[in-house]
Amino acid sequence: MTKKFIKLKSEDLSEWYNDLVVKAELADYAPVKGCMVIRPYGYAIWERIQSFMDKFIKEKGVQNAYFPLFIPESFLKKEKEHVAGFAPELAIVTIGGGQELTEKLIVRPTSETIMYEMYKKWTQSWRDLPVMMNQWCNVVRWEQRTYLFLRTTEFLWQEGHCAHATDQENQEMVQWALNLYKKTYSDLLAMYGVTGIKSETEKFGGASKTYTIEVLMPNGKALQAGTSHDLGQNFAKSFDWSLQDQNGDKLYPYQNSWGLSTRSIGGLIMVHGDDNGLVFPPQIAPTQLVIVPIPGHEKAIKLANSIFDQLKSKYRSQIDDLAGETAGFKFNKWEMKGVPIRLEIGDKEADIDSAVVVRRDTLEKQTVKIADLEKTIDQLLIDIQSNLLEKHQKFTQDNTFSVDSYDEFKKIMSTTRGFISAHWCESADCEAKIKEETKATTRCLPDGQKDEAGVCIHCGQPSKHRWLFAQSY
Ligand SMILES: [Zn+2]
């Protein structure tokens, strides 16, 4: 059967991805280079990510709020490492309402500075802590090379910003956010990620420590898929934000910030998709079930509609009984759209009160009695979700290499790529040279990584543990 709507993943990942995102109507290129339009099918995914995470965010006592898009330039300059980290990718407004502005305005690349200026205004003593807010918004980082969802000049995200009286509460919050991201990837997106701490070079500008979740893509590159920053008292001190503690002494709040963006959707597409198109895990799929009666089969069309009426309140369902397309065309279309379960019904099936049930992840088919449909679908939704997570976890493990020679390191990075677990002396110099020579950067020191005496893969100096390296998106 010739059925290819799209380029093949197995032949060229990048071309497949660009082609699929547009043809499956997830997103499109905007008139301004580097920006994207998120179409309804793609936006439905973001909405599901939002509602999944928002529930946990609120349960934790973090409240949603909204801060302005424009940040006075002077705010950003207050934290030196912060501004240095973002300077190359800022969009700056110099004219407003036809007038040259007395102070330039930064289009937010992230909101630490404007939020903390307001936190300072709203708090006087330790009783006003903690301050725990989150916002769902857009941010702008002027990227040179862009890629729909994965790297765009404007993207959507949530950014949580909390301030605490003690460092202990702060650390607890930093780990809570990292765990929320891990849960979102595994339970919702069926993706396996490695969590850990960033190197000094790779951490967020202005943070004491950055924690990350790194996800391995099919081409062996790593996607930084969410970060949680321990800001210590760095921003509080830069903003001269101090409160009275219980003894009337000066207290600089301990802060953290954490974000997860629409980039996660790019990862979702890449990790699970195949030569036939998207493959969505049932938990995230905008449509979980599509019912396709064979065009022209009157009895089947009637049955399909009655099944649809029965199932639509239980599953996110659609029926495709439009005339003018062949059955084969419809099957391929829904495969490309990644719908986890497809029911095919012709008169042959209608005669025996059955439907053909096809699962998208393995393309396996089975004929099921209408009376047993719900039971079968319930089980399949669970099976597909766990199969996709297991598959990605296995892929990640199979492509994580423990390496002790730099020659082998270079060889892997110039061929298959993947995660490399290797000793590193933690000098920024060595890190820079490894990056220059292999394009690989330190992704993180994984959580739970055991201490192990060794020597740096690059310079031979003593090393305490293995770090995770990869080329990154
Ligand atoms: Zn070294």
Q: pLDDT by residue (tens digit) across 254-312?
A: 999 999 999 999 999 999 999 999 999 999 999 999 999 999 999 999 999 999 999 99
Rounded to the nearest angstrom, the distance between the alpha carbon of 375 and the centre of ligand 1 is: 57
Mean pLDDT score across all residues of the chain:
96
CATH of the domain at 364: 3.40.50.800
Co-location of 365 and 419 in the same domain:
no
Q: Is residue 353 part of a domain?
A: yes
Distance CA 468, CA 443 (A): 6
Rounded to the nearest angstrom, the distance between the alpha carbon of 218 and the centre of ligand 1 is: 29
Among positive and negative, which fits the CA dihedral 383, 386, 392, 398? negative
Distance of CA 178 to the CA centre of its chain: 12
Rounded to the nearest angstrom, the distance between the alpha carbon of 231 and the centre of ligand 1 is: 27
Q: Is residue 86 part of a domain?
A: no
Co-location of 327 and 238 in the same domain:
no
Co-location of 303 and 367 in the same domain:
yes
Q: pLDDT by residue (tens digit) across 99-129?
A: 999 999 999 999 999 999 999 999 999 999 9
Co-location of 322 and 356 in the same domain:
yes
Tally of CA atoms within 13 A in the half-sphere of 208 that contains its CB: 15
Once rounded to an integer, what is the mean pLDDT over residues 332-348? Answer: 97
Co-location of 191 and 298 in the same domain:
no
Q: Which of 381, 416, 437 is the last residue of a domain?
A: 381
Q: Please say whether the beta carbons of 153 and 146 come within 8 A.
A: yes
Co-location of 266 and 343 in the same domain:
no
User: Residue 3: which pLDDT band, with cuts at 50, 70 and 90?
Assistant: low
Q: pLDDT by residue (tens digit) across 46-94?
A: 999 999 999 999 999 999 999 999 999 999 888 888 888 888 899 999 9
> What is the percent of the chain with per-residue pLDDT over 90, rounded to a whole number?
93
Rounded to the nearest angstrom, the distance between the alpha carbon of 409 and the centre of ligand 1 is: 14
> What is the percent of the chain with per-residue pLDDT over 70, rounded to a whole number?
99
Q: Please say whether the beta carbons of 331 and 342 come within 8 A.
A: yes
Q: Is residue 374 part of a domain?
A: yes
Rounded to the nearest angstrom, the distance between the alpha carbon of 422 and the centre of ligand 1 is: 11
Co-location of 351 and 413 in the same domain:
no
Rounded to the nearest angstrom, the distance between the alpha carbon of 432 and the centre of ligand 1 is: 10
Instruction: Say what the pTM is.
Output: 0.96
Once rounded to an integer, what is the mean pLDDT over residues 151-173? Answer: 97
Q: pLDDT by residue (tens digit) across 380-403?
A: 999 999 999 999 999 999 999 999
Rounded to the nearest angstrom, the distance between the alpha carbon of 425 and the centre of ligand 1 is: 4
Q: What's the number of domains the chain is made of? A: 3
Once rounded to an integer, what is the mean pLDDT over residues 308-333? Answer: 96
Rounded to the nearest angstrom, the distance between the alpha carbon of 108 and the centre of ligand 1 is: 36
Co-location of 54 and 174 in the same domain:
yes
Q: With 80 as the cut, is the pLDDT of residue 187 above it?
A: yes
- How does 388-416 read in b/e, with b if 16+ C-beta sit within 10 Å? bbebbbebbeebbbebeebeebbebbeee
Q: With 60 as the cut, is the pLDDT of residue 1 above it?
A: no
Q: Please say whether the beta carbons of 261 and 157 come within 8 A.
A: yes
Q: Is residue 318 part of a domain?
A: yes
Co-location of 323 and 376 in the same domain:
yes
Q: Is residue 443 part of a domain?
A: yes
Q: What is the pLDDT of residue 2?
A: 41
Q: pLDDT by residue (tens digit) across 195-225?
A: 999 999 999 989 999 999 999 999 999 999 9
Co-location of 118 and 225 in the same domain:
yes
CATH of the domain at 52: 3.30.930.10
Q: pLDDT by residue (tens digit) across 402-418?
A: 999 999 999 999 999 99
Co-location of 357 and 296 in the same domain:
yes
Q: Is residue 204 part of a domain?
A: yes
Q: What is the pLDDT of residue 345?
A: 98
* Nearest residue to 301 via CA among 328, 277, 320: 320
Virtual torsion, Cα 458, 460, 465, 467, nearest 10 deg? 0
Rounded to the nearest angstrom, the distance between the alpha carbon of 195 and the centre of ligand 1 is: 23
Co-location of 356 and 458 in the same domain:
no
Q: What is the pLDDT of residue 55?
A: 98
Range of the domain at 458: 400-470
What would you report as the CA-atom Rg of the chain, rounded to the nearest whole angstrom? Answer: 25
Whole-Å CA distances, 292 to 284, 302, 376 = 21, 11, 17
Q: Is residue 301 part of a domain?
A: yes
Once rounded to an integer, what is the mean pLDDT over residues 235-259? Answer: 95
Rounded to the nearest angstrom, the distance between the alpha carbon of 433 and the centre of ligand 1 is: 9
- N-terminal to C-terminal alpha carbon distance within the chain: 35
Q: What is the pLDDT of residue 4?
A: 63
Whole-Å CA distances, 19 to 5, 12, 148, 275 = 9, 11, 10, 12
Q: Is residue 312 part of a domain?
A: yes
User: Residue 144: which pLDDT band, with cuts at 50, 70 and 90?
Assistant: confident
Q: Which of 324, 347, 381 is the last residue of a domain?
A: 381
CATH of the domain at 438: 3.30.110.30
Rounded to the nearest angstrom, the distance between the alpha carbon of 230 and the centre of ligand 1 is: 26
Distance CA 348, CA 354 (A): 9
Rounded to the nearest angstrom, the distance between the alpha carbon of 456 and the centre of ligand 1 is: 5
Rounded to the nearest angstrom, the distance between the alpha carbon of 401 and the centre of ligand 1 is: 19
Two tokens at 452?
């192990």
Rounded to the nearest angstrom, the distance between the alpha carbon of 273 and the centre of ligand 1 is: 38
